[in-house]
Chains A and B, each alone.
Chain A
C-alpha cells in the first residue's frame, strides 16, 4: 500500500513539471510576451528637460476615448529637446519606440496655441474645463503634433494617440 502511494506521488509530480514547461504565451518580434490582455491606452505622459527634471506642471490630462494626451508645461520651457515618458496599460507597447539611449525628441510641433478664458488655470495648474475644451475641438490640434500608437497586450488592438503641449501663462 505504502509503495503504491509513493509511485502515484512521483508520477503526478512528473506530470506537473511537464505541464509547467509548456509555452502558453508566444513572444513577439521585440522579445515581449503576447498575452490575452485587450486594454490599450496611455495612462500618463511626462516630458523631461536636458537637466533631467520634468517641465510639466500639475498632472497630465489623458482622454482615452478621444485618444489625446495633454502635458501642461511651465512658461519658457524649451520644447526642442525633450525626453518623453509615456506610461501604458499592462503588457501594451508603444510604436514608434522611445529610444533608451539618446531619446531626445523635438516636441515643438505639439505645442497648442489656445486663448485662455476665466477658470482655465487654478494656482498654476490647468483645470478640467481647459482640458475638455481642447479635446472637444480636434480640428484645432496642430497638424505636426507628435503621434504614438499604443499596441495592446494581445497585439490585436492598435490606438493612435495625439500628444499635445500647452504652455501655461507666466507664473
Chain B
C-alpha cells in the first residue's frame, strides 16, 4: 500500500517535470533591432524654471552592437538657449557607492541658434548624455519645448520630444548684502533685477532715487527691534535713529514669515519653492509697514506701494554688521 502511493507520487512529479520543460524560452519584449532613445528631465519637476538658471536633461540612446555605433546627437530648443547651453561630452554611469562616473565619449558640443549638437568620438553603441539648457531672457513667461535626436553610423535616426515647460515670469536676485549705515535702501522696481540696493551716498548724490526706494533697512542692538525693514507709514517709535531719506513716501506693504525656505533663494537647501502662482495668491490684507526682529531663515512678503510688484525677501544671513538677503520678485 505504502509503496504504491510512493510510486504514484514519483510518477506524477516526473510527468510534471516533463510538461514544464516543454515550453520554449520567450523574451519579455521585442528584441531591439534598431537605434532607440529615451529622455528624462533631471531638474526637479516642481522647481520653477527661472531665467538665467538651467534645465538639465539626460538623453539616452543605444543600438545593437552588430548594427553599428553612435554618430551624433542633437537638441533643438524652441527658444535658443542663453550662453552656457551645452551637451556634456561625458556619458555617466553610477558605481556601487552611488557616485556618477564620467566616461568621455564625444567632442565638445556646438551650439548655433536653437540647435546644440555633439559628435561621438568613442566607438560606442550606447550612451547617456546630459544636456544643460540655460534659460534665456526671451523665454520669460513663455513655454519652451525640446526635440532630442540621435544618429547612428548605419544611417538610422531617432527623435524624442520633451516639454513644453513653463518659464516663470518672476525675477530672482541672490545674495544682496545690506548694511545699516550705508547699503540700506532696497528697491524692487528695477527692470532687470529682482531687487537693487542703493547706498546712502548714492541717494545723497541723486536725491531723486528716493522715489525708487521701497524699504529702508535698519539694525538695532535692542532685543525687540534687531534687524528691521521699514516703509513710509511705520510708527516712528519703532525706528529709533533710522532716518528716512527726504522724498521717501512709499508705504510698502509687508507680511513677516518664518521658515518659508525657498530652495532657490536658500542656495539649494530645503525643498520649498515659491512660484509665480504664490505671488498671485498671497493675501496682502494682513500686511503692515514694518517688519521687526528679522533673523536667519525669516522672510518678508512685500508689495510695493503702487501694487505693481510683489516680492519675497529671504534672509540668508543676519549678523551685527548687516544682512544677506535673496529676493524673488513678480510683476503684477
Contact = CB atoms under 8 A, between A and B. Distances in A.
Interface of A: 49-53, 74-78, 80-81, 104, 124, 168, 170-171
Given A50-B286, A51-B298, A81-B286, A76 B224 contact: yes
B223 A124 contact: yes
B172 interface: no
Contacts of B223: 74, 124, 171
Contacts of B60: none
Nearest to A102: B283
B225 A50 contact: no
A51 B222 CA distance: 20
27 contacts: A49-B256, A50-B257, A50-B286, A51-B257, A51-B258, A51-B259, A52-B258, A52-B259, A74-B223, A75-B222, A75-B238, A76-B224, A76-B225, A76-B237, A76-B290, A76-B292, A77-B292, A78-B288, A80-B286, A80-B288, A81-B286, A81-B288, A104-B286, A124-B223, A168-B224, A170-B222, A170-B225
Interface in B222-280: 222-225, 237-238, 240, 255-259
A151 B69 CA distance: 81
A74 B259 CA distance: 20
Nearest to A169: B224
Contact of B222 (A53, A78, A171): A171
A92 to B, nearest CB: 29
A77 B255 CA distance: 13
A18 to B, nearest CB: 53
A74 B224 contact: yes
Nearest to B300: A51
A104 B259 CA distance: 19
Nearest to A52: B258
A32 B53 CA distance: 53
